[in-house]
A and B are shown apart, each in its own frame.
Chain A
Amino acid sequence: MQLAKVIGSVVSTRKCDRLEGMKLLVAIPIDMDTFQEKGSPFVTVDTVGAGEGEIVMWCGGSSSRATEITTNKPVDATIIGIVDNVDILGKRVFTKGEV
């Protein structure tokens, strides 16, 4: 799994019917060293009601189809958790709500 920050959303009316009702969000990878945004944004399917600005956990590949919402769906990146806090090497590097 990897961390990312939700920064937006995508609207697509003409899409595969199995994607009907799926929430398409735009997320940007988070660098675990600095906890800053790094790299370019990508499109992911939300299964936990993540909102803009939230740090989330996502998984790719066939595992992205391992949730009830995304089983047998043409998805290769799924948000599977909203992060409350992160501790690395005994230090709290992230707490939800604290900037």
Chain B
Amino acid sequence: MIVGRVTGNVVSSNKSEKLRNAKLLIVQIVDIGTMEMKDDYLIMIDDVGAGVGDLVFGAYGSSSRQSDTSKQFASDYTIYGIIDSIDQRGKRTYDKAEEEDPCNWQK
């Protein structure tokens, strides 16, 4: 499951019927080993109400159409969760509650 930071959104009025009412978010992929944002962007359909600054995870391909709301969309990447915390090797490497500025890239 891919992990990334929501950094923006896309508006498209002239689009496939199969994308009507889909919320299109820009997600920048995060390497959770270093928590660095990679230079790699995706447009993902939001299924859980994620917003800019959220660290999210999602599924790819046919797995991105496996929920009641996303099965109707022509999607290949869908956000299925907002991450609260990540523990690795016995250490907490990410904690949403302790993040001062999730949108620190805006400085």
Q: How many residues of B contact A (CB 8 A)?
A: 33
Main secondary structure of the interface of B (DSSP, over half): mixed
Question: How far does the Cβ of A88 sit from chain B's closest Cβ, in whole Å?
Answer: 26
Contacts of B42 in A (CB 8 A): none
Contact (A8, B89) CB under 8 Å given A28-B33, A40-B31: yes
Q: CA separation between A6 and B47, bound complex, in Å? A: 27
Interface pair B82/A74, CB less than 8 Å apart: no
Per-residue B-contact encoding for A1-30, CB less than 8 Å = 1, 0 else:
000000111111111111100001010100
Contacts of B61 in A (CB 8 A): 61-62, 76
Interface range, A side = 20 to 34
Residue numbers of A with Cβ under 8 A of B are 7-19, 24, 26, 28, 40-45, 52, 61-62, 64-65, 72-77
- Chain B residues 86-100 with CB under 8 Å of chain A are 86-90, 93
Q: CA separation between A17 and B81, bound complex, in Å? A: 9
List the 7 shortest-distance A-B pairs measured between CB atoms, nearest first: A15-B81, A8-B88, A76-B63, A43-B1, A12-B81, A74-B66, A16-B80
